[in-house]
Structure 1
Amino acid sequence: MLSTFSYANILHAVGQVLDQIGVKSIAIHEEEDGLFVEGFNSDGQLQVQMHYDIASLYELVDRADNQTAEVASTQVTGVLSRFLSEHHRELVGASL
């Protein structure tokens, strides 16, 4: 469990949410108890407003970190599987 987060981790996690929503521009305001995020469409009209308190940010960043780790693990497994099949090898005690 992480006790502190970098701005990069926080912005990455918030950015993933905004990408899923499909916003075209953003405004992020740091508040005493978290972040207030606004997302706008291509016409500049407000599309979404979100307030993340500290607990919500922690959960969001933790979830994003877990998803990143899962994707990285899947990519490594895919690379390893491809390498083994191209070289006609297999892992001992494992089935791919």
Structure 2
Amino acid sequence: MPATISYANVLHAVGQVLDQIGAKSIAIHEEEDGLVVEGFNSDGQLLVQMHYDIASLYELLKAQAGQPAAANASADDGVLHRFLAQYDRELVGSVL
């Protein structure tokens, strides 16, 4: 099933990644070629900065759409880790 690109689907998928790393606040900047997502801890320090181009967003949505809801919530195999491993991506500016 192809992933539907909508703000609701994008924010849900990206939100799962941010929940996985424990972000307490976020900033999302739309750019011409995709999104820059920043996650901050409770002290306002940058935890992670991720750049999703259009292809990365599509793949993230497609991967999420193909998984049952229970798998999305699994603490052992989080969305962030699956996405990074499957698409050979890495976090930019991570201080985890």
TM-score, structure 1 normalization? 0.67
Structure number with the bigger relative contact order (C-alpha 8 A, sep ≥ 6) is 2
Give the whole-Å Cα distance in 1 for the aligned partners of 2:4 and 2:61.
10
Give the whole-Å Cα distance in 2 for the aligned partners of 1:23 and 1:44.
10
Q: Residue deviations 1:33-53, cap 9 Å, x none? A: 000000000000111000000
Write out aligned runs for 1:30-45 (5 A).
Answer: 30-45=30-45
* Percent of pairs with identical residues: 79
CA drift at 1:7: 0.2
Residues paired across the two proteins, number: 70
Matched, 1:63 2:63: yes
Match of 1:25 in 2: 25
Give the whole-Å Cα distance in 2 for the aligned partners of 1:42 and 1:3.
33
The alignment's C-alpha RMSD in Å is 1.5
Runs of at least 5 residues in structure 1 that lack an aligned partner in the other structure: 73-96
Q: After the TM superposition, which segments of 4 or more aligned residues of structure 1 sit over 6 Å from their partners?
A: none
Give the whole-Å Cα distance in 1 for the aligned partners of 2:4 and 2:69.
23
Runs of at least 5 residues in structure 2 that lack an aligned partner in the other structure: 71-96
Q: Which entry has the higher C-alpha Rg, 1 or 2?
A: 1
